[in-house]
Every structure is written in C-alpha cells, then in structure tokens.
Structure 1
Amino acid sequence: MPVCLIVQPIHPSGVERLTAAGVECRMASSPDMATVAREIADCDAVITRNAGLDTAAITAARRLQVIANHGIGTNKIDVAHATDLAIPIIFTPSANARSVAEHAIMMALAVGKRLLPSDHAVRTGDWDYRYQPGLQELFGKTLGIVGFGTIGRLTADIASKGFGMRVVVHSPSAEDAMLAAHDAERCGTLDDLLAQSDVVSLHQPSRLDTRHLINARTLALMRPTAILVNTARADLIDTAALVAALESGQIAGAGLDVFDQEPLAADSPLQHLSRVVMTPHTAGGTDEALKAAADQCADQILQVLAGQRPAHLVRPAIWDRRRTQTGA
C-alpha cells in the first residue's frame, strides 16, 4: 500500500480520495522539517502547505515519488534538489484563485470604508466618528493590477463588473487579447500604473526580479488617497518603506495578507497602524478553496503513482526521467 505523509492539515475530502484509492495517509506529528525528515523515509507521496519541504526532508525520503504542493507558491520547497533527484512536484494553481481574488477586493473595501476604525468606534460609543472625512467608494475608481495570472484576471472581473472600476494592468507577458477579454488596459511600466491607480493589487510570484517592487521610490509615485493590497508574496513589498509611507500619510492605507515574518512579530510597527487591515494568510483559506486544493493534490498524486502525467507539474521536463517506486 502506498503511503502519503500529510505535513499540515488539509480538507478531509483529499484524505478520503486517497484512502478510497488504497493510499495510506499519515499525519506528520509536527510540521517542522526535522520531524518531517524523520517520518518521511518510507513514504511514496507527501502533501505540504506553507511548511514546504527542505533539502534534508527530501533527501530522507528514499521512496518518494511525488511532492504535492497545496497551493501555488513553491518557494519553501527545495525545488532544485527535488529536480536533481527526479521527484515530480505538483501544485494547485487554480484551486484558491477565486477565494484570493475576492479577498483582495474585500481588503480594498475594508481599507477604503475604514472598516476596522468604524467597528472600533461602534464598540467604544464614538458615534461622532461618522463625521470624519476620508471614506471612499470603489465605483469609477482605477484598479491597478500587477501580474495578470488567474487571480489577477478574476480580481479584474470582480472590480470591473461588480464595482464599475477601470482596470489597468502591468504584466509584460499578458497578451492583448487576454487584456481585452477582461476589460483591462495595459500599463507599459509599473511606475505608470502606480501613478494613475486608486487601488493597487499585487499578484506576482516571488522572484529575484520582483523582490521589493514596492519600495520607497515606487510608493512615492502613488496618490495620497491610494490603497495598496498584497495577497501574493510578502517580499514584493519593502515593509519598512511601506510603514514609513503609511505613517506619513503618503498613501491612504494597505491591506496585507502576507508578511515577512509569520506569525507577525508583536513589536512589528504594522501592529500599531490604523491605516492597515491585516489577515493571517487566509486569502486562499475558504472552505471551498481548501476542498479544491486537497482534491487536486489527491487526484494528481494518484495519477503520478499510476504512471499518468498530472496536469500541473512545477518542472514538467523531469517527467520522463522521474523516480519510480523502486526509488532513486
């Protein structure tokens, strides 16, 4: 019977699919990599979420035939080492896309409507708060989307169709036909997008060329009424520069679902800024998205174990030389 190690909890539906197909599912006793390395040795498959899978754990997994990444980002998996060992890595690029897109729009609304200060005002009896200026509508405003993958496109649709927003996009790889299909306009440069947007939503992966796209220089290009939303990767933003921009009123506010350090440190300056709405990396965590991701992980694991090419391989080129059940 094949064995699948589950590093962090997933929706029961995924476990049920694997079990029904004759795969033994084991829950790691802890998601720390030292524990995983001890418990993965006789496993044929593994499902990991934001814990990733490090070099030592991959090396220890002598029978491992497939690594399932529950989500899109694989920056916490040693992809290069897995590739060297010819272990396929599958992922779930669309499972949580709508959930994240909805979350991005929700954060723009929460910042623009000053949801958290308004809630606090009600709880403390400060009904005069309603006379404070600065609340914003989204209707007719310009949404700037940085990165136009599945999540970026869904965010554009919600904004344009649901809120009547003009959508501008900075994504050199986006084709004109794709932009037109989503009622979006191309921005040739990030600087141009930042200068004309009322809301900026980040939807790019973490790479060397995307690190700190949003920094002191680029924040200075934004409007003082602008809102910045990040549901993608923490290192897209220079946090110190963002804090300074928020403290000075350079921009109106920010919605953040990802952070340089998670959990957020108690002494982080973000903790004390009323202009920020923060969520604990839950943008893709709806019940619907979690079920879809677990099911996609399970289905692709079963395909790999059966010798069938799965739909979503991180490094497709290794498929033909992949590790088999006899090990590497």
Structure 2
Amino acid sequence: MKKILITDGMDINAVNNLMEMGYDVEQRFYDEEELKEKIKNIDVIVVRSATKIRENIIDEAAKTGRLKLIIRGGVGLDNIDVEYARNRGIVVRNTPFASANAVAELVLCEMLVLARNVKIANLKLGEGIWDKKNLKGSEINGKTLGLVGFGNIARALADKAHKLGMDIIYTDIVRCEEKEDIFKFATFEEILKNADYITVHTPLTADTKYMFNENCFDMMKDTAFFINCARGGIVEENDLLRAIDAGSIAGAALDCFENEPLPLRELITNPKVTVTPHIGASTEEAQARIAEEIVTIIEDYFQINNVVGGVM
C-alpha cells in the first residue's frame, strides 16, 4: 500500500477519497528533524507553505528511494528545492489553477480597500473619531492596473478589473497575444511610471528577490498603490516603508511578507498599509479545488506507473 503524508492540512473530503482508493494517508506536521526520518518511509508528501523540503530532507528520502512524488498544494514552489529533487528522480508538482480566482479576488478586494481608505476609516472609528470629511477616496474605474507577471492569477484579476472599467497593462516573459486588444504589454519601467495600481504575480527566485526596491518606488506615481499577494521576498520591505512614509507612493496592501509569521512590525501597523496573513488561497472553494487537483495528480501518477488504487 502506498503511503501519503499530508503535512499542512487538506480538505477532508479529498483525504477520504484517497483512503477509499486504497492509499494509506497520514495527516501530521513534522518538524525538520522528525521529517528527516519520516520522509524515508513514504511514497508521496503533500505540503503547503509551512513545510520546507530542502536538500537535507531530500537527501534523507534518497537513502531509501521510496519517495516518488512531492506535491505543493498551491502555486509557489519556493519552499521546495525543485531541481535538486528532480535530479534525485523525485517528481515535483503544484496546483497552479485551483487558487487563481481566490487570489485574484483578494487582490481586487485590497485595491478597493486602498481606494476608499477603508483601513484608515476603521482605525479612526475605533478611536471614536468620525472623520468623514478627510476620508474622500477614489474610484478604480478609469484607473490603470499594472501587473508584473501575467500567469493564471494575473489574468483572472485582469479580466475582473477590466470589467470594472480599468485599463490593463502587464509585463511578462510571454506576451498575451490572444487579448492584445484589451491587455497591453509594457516594460517593467513603463508599468512603474504609468500604473495607478501595481500588483505582483511572479515567483520568488534569485532574479526576483527584492525586485521592488527604493528605485522602483521612486519611479511610481505618488498617487499609486502597491499590492503584493505573491511572495514577501520580492519586496524590499524597508524601502517600501520609507516610500510610504515619504509620500513617494500612496499606500500598499500586503498578503505576504519576507519574515512569516512575524513580519516587520512598523510595516503592518502603518495606517497606509493594509495587511492580511497570507490568506490569498484561503477560501473554502479554492481549498476544495486544490485538494481535488492533488487527488488527481496522485492517482494519475500511480496509474501511469502501473499502480492501481494505491496497491501494487
């Protein structure tokens, strides 16, 4: 019987489906030292962001050669040493489509919160201050949305924002030729200089580490907003904080941080910064879709390798 370890939780219906298919499923988080031992005796590991699969863990798995499949329930793979695992003969997969709508909706939500000064209004009302006259916001209709990276999430967001009357510009290594009439390709610098809202949709890599820094924020409009629901390390957070405090940009919304779960205190308490604790994919619907996709990945893998129902 093939053994599956789910370390960071998964939809219970999908877990039950796997067990009904004949897989031995364990749901439990292991710290690094415990995981080094556990990894030797499982066939599949399913993780989210809490569990890190680094070279030392992969080396332990290679001692028995039993681990065949690592699945990241989500889009980003920065918590897995992907190439190292693949070089060891371990397949690495993620679920790039299942959470796209959920994340896109959160980004749109953050844009509206920034546009209408919702956080500042909440803070003032909580202090007993009725400051209606100083809380005049703006509308996103007619504004320019700049997307850095144009994958599944960004395209879902672009569709929604366009329907709300926004102009869409984007940059990516691949152009979106099928919708060039409504989504306009631009350089990174053009987005920084022209967008009213800039959102990030790139993975965290050596090339994207701190790609948003002091120079970038200096190029943005002083009325522009910055939104990051991708990965924290893409942004130099101290530079962002200085830009907001100096009035170089109007504000920011962040769902991810370089240091999770203890982000920079000065950033998360700034009244011009809206923050959430990495909840982009945290909807009931998205989690169900992610789990369904994971079940499909597992079943397809073992069927291809002549294993039916988890049993050789």
Normalising to structure 2: TM-score of the pair? 0.92
**Matching residue's letter, 2:138:** Q
> Following superposition of structure 1 onto structure 2, how do residues 74-223 of structure 1 map, counting pairs within 5 Å?
74-127=77-130, 129-161=131-163, 163-180=164-181, 183-187=182-186, 189-223=187-221
Per-residue CA deviations over 1:25-60 (Å, capped at 9, x if unaligned) read 1122x3422222222222111101112312232233
Runs of at least 5 residues in structure 1 that lack an aligned partner in the other structure: 310-324
Q: Distance in 2 between matches of 1:140 and 1:150?
A: 23
> Following superposition of structure 1 onto structure 2, how do residues 287-326 of structure 1 map, counting pairs within 5 Å?
287-307=284-304
- Relative contact order (alpha carbons < 8 A, sep ≥ 6): 1 or 2 greater? 1
Q: Distance in 1 between matches of 2:210 and 2:34?
A: 33
Q: Distance in 2 between matches of 1:52 and 1:302?
A: 24
Structure 1 residues 166-175 or 273-282, which shifts more?
166-175
The alpha-carbon deviation at position 308 of structure 1 amounts to 5.6
Aligned to 1:145, the other structure's residue is in SS state strand
Q: Distance in 1 between matches of 2:39 and 2:167?
A: 49
Q: Distance in 2 between matches of 1:248 and 1:272?
A: 16
Whether the aligned pair in 2 keeps the contact of 1:33 and 1:54 (CA below 8 Å) is no
Q: Distance in 2 between matches of 1:205 and 1:165?
A: 25
Per-residue CA deviations over 1:210-258 (Å, capped at 9, x if unaligned) read 2222111111111111110001111221111101001111111101011
**Matching residue's letter, 1:54:** R
Whether the aligned pair in 2 keeps the contact of 1:198 and 1:226 (CA below 8 Å) is yes
Whether the aligned pair in 1 keeps the contact of 2:121 and 2:135 (CA below 8 Å) is no
Aligned to 1:41, the other structure's residue is in SS state helix
Aligned to 1:297, the other structure's residue is in SS state helix
Counterpart of 1:6? 6
Q: Distance in 2 between matches of 1:110 and 1:146?
A: 20
Whether the aligned pair in 2 keeps the contact of 1:52 and 1:74 (CA below 8 Å) is no
The answer to whether 1:49 aligns with 2:51 is no
Per-residue CA deviations over 1:278-325 (Å, capped at 9, x if unaligned) read 11000111111111111111211121122269xxxxxxxxxxxxxxx9
Q: Distance in 1 between matches of 2:209 and 2:14?
A: 34
Whether the aligned pair in 2 keeps the contact of 1:226 and 1:252 (CA below 8 Å) is yes
Whether the aligned pair in 1 keeps the contact of 2:36 and 2:60 (CA below 8 Å) is yes
Alpha-carbon distance change, 172 to 87 in structure 1, aligned in 2, over 3 angstroms? closer
**Matching residue's letter, 1:20:** E
The answer to whether 1:256 aligns with 2:258 is no
Whether the aligned pair in 2 keeps the contact of 1:65 and 1:304 (CA below 8 Å) is no
Per-residue CA deviations over 1:75-99 (Å, capped at 9, x if unaligned) read 1112122112111111101010000
Q: Distance in 2 between matches of 1:264 and 1:139?
A: 35
Normalising to structure 1: TM-score of the pair? 0.88
> Following superposition of structure 1 onto structure 2, how do residues 12-23 of structure 1 map, counting pairs within 5 Å?
12-23=12-23
Per-residue CA deviations over 1:112-150 (Å, capped at 9, x if unaligned) read 2111221223333211x1110551211111111111111
Per-residue CA deviations over 1:187-230 (Å, capped at 9, x if unaligned) read 1x211111111100111111222222211111111111111000
Alpha-carbon distance change, 308 to 153 in structure 1, aligned in 2, over 3 angstroms? farther
Give aligned-pair identity as a percent: 29
> Following superposition of structure 1 onto structure 2, how do residues 233-252 of structure 1 map, counting pairs within 5 Å?
233-252=231-250
**One of 54, 72, 77 as aligned partner of 2:75:** 72
Alpha-carbon distance change, 52 to 295 in structure 1, aligned in 2, over 3 angstroms? farther
Whether the aligned pair in 2 keeps the contact of 1:17 and 1:299 (CA below 8 Å) is no
